[in-house]
Amino acid sequence: MVFSGPEPTDSFPPATQTISQLEWLSQLARPLDRAAALVIDGIVLSALLGLTTSRAQYGVELSRLLNDLTQLKFEIWVLVIVGVLTMFLYQLTQWSLFGRTIGQRVVGVEVVNVFTGQSPGLIESATRSLFWWLDLMFLLPNLGIFRDPLRRPFHDRVSNTIVISRRRFGPRPHRRERRASELVTATIISTLTWVSLAILSPENRWIMSTVGARGADLDCQSVEEVKDSLPEDQDMSELELALVLYTAGKVDLKCVDQASRKAAREMPKDPLVRFARSLSNSSEAELSNEYLDKVCEFGAQSEVCQLSKAYDEISQGRSESAIKRLRSFSSRAPTYVLLLASKQLERLGQFEDVHRLLNAVVPFPEIEDYLGQLGVSALWGLERDSEARVLFQASLPRFSSRENRVRFASWMCRMEMDRACAGTQQLPCQRFHREILGDSTLLSDEGIGLTHLVHERCSHQAPDRLGRLARFSGSVNLMDFTEALADRDPISRREKLLDLISDSKVSAAVRSEVFQILLAEDASSSIEEKVDLFWSVAQLSDWYWRSAGLSVARAIARQKDFGKLASFVGQWKDRGGLPSSLRTLDSQPNVRLPASRGSRK
């Protein structure tokens, strides 16, 4: 092992002469040599990268600490660009100036032009470097090193280069030229380092303003904004408001923590402050209990004290005592007490009290949706369905985000379905489907879920309702599906379902549902029929196919017929796409999978 490369032996054949590819065969670099060169270059590059990207790494760390996402994105881009440039320039300069990188120099291989035997030029080196990285990314083209007779992977073929073990042809650069090349390399690398150090530093305001960087968005700002927008007769402290908004799911617990820490400096003995501190420190039980114990220190009869005691009782499982305490609040209690108490009472199933307390709350826009949701839940719990529906319709538009609207409507729809199956009311998901979702893709997905739900819950008692649900959803697939499900005649029903499953126009989701239903319902069919059914749906997408196949495998396994199971898995293995969970069957003592085709003798 020598560090400096081998001296040129002679200049045969002349540099201008085109070399036959066969002449290279005796001098090809060993693949292991090339791999070792890669490892050494990795070491060199990691040191170089550490240096050139050091400032960008500093910037990434700094902007992460300052939570400045815009700057963080910028720094990551700088890091990537400087990193890629360093790697690219390293190879470019090394190959174009010396014909070998440091790693190649150490192991004694070099890159030459396959036709002339000269060191690659600038263009060839750049092409080789570019495709070298692409090859590395996709890995596969590198396998060309074993398949190509001249061990030229894709990047070598594109750039007309070859890697040989010794330099045999062409003169080595003159000493003065070598010195000049070294100087150029050193200049490029040091310039790059200093550019990244000086210009791209995070303190450089010019760069930051050019890319439009701005300060990070801060959380919990909304509490102050809401406070400013409250009507004058609803005066609430920031802490009270934070508690209300937290209860309504509008802000995170950290906003309560933030507001309570601020309030604790001014009114450390205030019961509400201590209650909020207890709530916000719930991850530290000891400290949280310390606060909760002291809430009643200066006012045992205050609402906050009663609320904290109720919380304590709930955590200890004394629900009845807690309910009694929570019921004691009158309409004069502050909003946060009423809301927190309502939330707890709803969880404990005390809908009458929830309804009463909610009536006492003076609403403001940010919590109206929450009040509506809680109100509908209470009315529904009290079986005042028509009032619940009216309140539902009135509350729905108050949800600002579509996601929450869908969630609330979906919840309502399920509640309605429970009633529908009980036979007391008609299915009222029309509004849910037509007016709320209003999105054909969501319609179809939700529709399948709901259809399945009705099918599961209501069995065959509500075929009309299923049909109506499908019509509401507007999905042709779903209409056929529900029509088949609603068919009371088992033979025609099975035929319709089989038609659906074999129709490639029907969506994969519906076909998968049909498959699962057929598999579950048709208990009398033999294993062979189930397997045939499975192969008939094998054109479904991978995911559904696997899920369907696993159901079949489970059905066979339940019958403890391991011979059939092994044959089924073997067939699947041969066709490809066998899930890994089934591959382990091979290791079980009573199951032997057929040997794969490659290993059969």
Partner 1 sequence: MIFPILDGLLSAARAPITWILFLLNLGVHVIVWPQVQINREGLREIYNSDSFLTATGERYAEFIRKHPEIYSDRFVRRLGHQADSGDREIHLKLGEIALRDYYFANANAKSRNSASDGDPILSLFHGEREKSIREIQTLEPSRWLGVSHDQSSLERLMTFQFIHGGFSHLFGNMVLLLLLGSFLESRIGSASLGLSYLWGGFLGGATYIGFSPITNLPLIGASAGVSCLMGLSVALAWTSGIRVFYLWLPVQRYVGFTQLPSWVLFLYWFIPDLSGVLKTVSELGGVAHWAHVGGVLGGLLLGVWFRFALAAGAASDASRGPGSEGSELSAA
Range in contact with partner 1 (rule: CB under 8 A) among 267-275, 354-362, 404-412, 519-527: 267-275
Long-range (24+ apart) CB contacts under 8 A made by 518-526 are: 518/494, 519/548, 519/551, 519/552, 519/555, 522/494
Among 87, 89, 92, 107, the residue binding partner 1 under the rule CB under 8 A is 107
Among 265, 488, 505, 601, the residue binding partner 1 under the rule CB under 8 A is 265
Separation in Å, CA 366 to CA 35, 192, 273: 63, 53, 23
Give the alpha-carbon dihedral of 384, 385, 390, 392, to 10 degrees: 110
Among 259, 374, 415, 469, the residue binding partner 1 under the rule CB under 8 A is 259
- At 582, phi and psi to the nearest 5? -85, -20
CB closer to partner 1 out of 2 and 491 = 2
CB of 3 to partner 1, least distance (A): 7
Site for partner 1 in 188-207 (CB under 8 A): 197
Per-residue burial over 477-491, b = 16 or more CB atoms within 10 Å of its CB, e = otherwise: bbbbbbbbbbbeeee
CA angle 44, 186, 203 (to 5 degrees): 85
Range in contact with partner 1 (rule: CB under 8 A) among 206-214, 261-269, 506-514, 557-565: 261-269
Q: Is the Cβ–Cβ distance between 111 and 127 less than 8 Å?
A: no
Q: Is the Cβ–Cβ distance between 172 and 8 less than 8 Å?
A: yes
Q: Is the Cβ–Cβ distance between 358 and 371 less than 8 Å?
A: yes
The span from the CA of 302 to the CA of 336, in Å, is 13
CB closer to partner 1 out of 284 and 352 = 284
Among 23, 219, 435, 503, the residue binding partner 1 under the rule CB under 8 A is 219
Site for partner 1 in 239-258 (CB under 8 A): 254, 257-258
Structure tokens at 277: 């501190």
Instruction: List the beta bridge partners of residue 112.
Output: 162
Three-state DSSP at 210 gives helix
The span from the CA of 396 to the CA of 376, in Å, is 11
Among 277, 398, 493, 511, the residue binding partner 1 under the rule CB under 8 A is 277
Structure tokens at 60: 């990434």
CB of 444 to partner 1, least distance (A): 41
CB of 228 to partner 1, least distance (A): 16
The span from the CA of 78 to the CA of 196, in Å, is 8
CB of 262 to partner 1, least distance (A): 6
Count of Cβ atoms closer than 10 Å to residue 263 Cβ: 21
3 binds partner 1 (CB under 8 A): yes
Q: How many residues does the chain have?
A: 601
Residues binding partner 1: number (CB under 8 A): 49
CB of 156 to partner 1, least distance (A): 21
Among 22, 139, 218, 285, the residue binding partner 1 under the rule CB under 8 A is 218
CB of 258 to partner 1, least distance (A): 4
Among 69, 81, 188, 264, the residue binding partner 1 under the rule CB under 8 A is 264
Among 262, 402, 434, 592, the residue binding partner 1 under the rule CB under 8 A is 262
- Concatenating the DSSP letter of every residue in 125-153 gives HHHHHHHHHHHHHH-GGGGHHHHSTT---
Nearest residue to 342 via CA among 365, 367, 366: 367
Site for partner 1 in 46-105 (CB under 8 A): 47-48, 50-51, 53-55, 57-58, 61-62, 65-67
CB of 337 to partner 1, least distance (A): 21
Among 274, 398, 405, 493, the residue binding partner 1 under the rule CB under 8 A is 274
Nearest residue to 577 via CA among 544, 599, 552: 544
CB of 182 to partner 1, least distance (A): 13
Site for partner 1 in 282-321 (CB under 8 A): 283-284, 287, 290-291, 294
CB closer to partner 1 out of 34 and 356 = 34
Three-state DSSP at 173 gives coil
CB of 202 to partner 1, least distance (A): 9
CB closer to partner 1 out of 172 and 294 = 294
The span from the CA of 341 to the CA of 346, in Å, is 9
Site for partner 1 in 387-446 (CB under 8 A): none
CB of 62 to partner 1, least distance (A): 6
Tokens 């000891």, residue located: 286
Q: Is the Cβ–Cβ distance between 525 and 497 less than 8 Å?
A: no
CB closer to partner 1 out of 113 and 193 = 193
The span from the CA of 349 to the CA of 13, in Å, is 95
CB of 294 to partner 1, least distance (A): 6
Q: Is the Cβ–Cβ distance between 59 and 75 less than 8 Å?
A: yes
CB closer to partner 1 out of 187 and 461 = 187
Binding site residues, partner 1, CB under 8 A: 1, 3, 32, 35-36, 39-40, 43, 47-48, 50-51, 53-55, 57-58, 61-62, 65-67, 107, 197, 216, 218-221, 254, 257-259, 261-262, 264-266, 268-269, 274, 277, 281, 283-284, 287, 290-291, 294
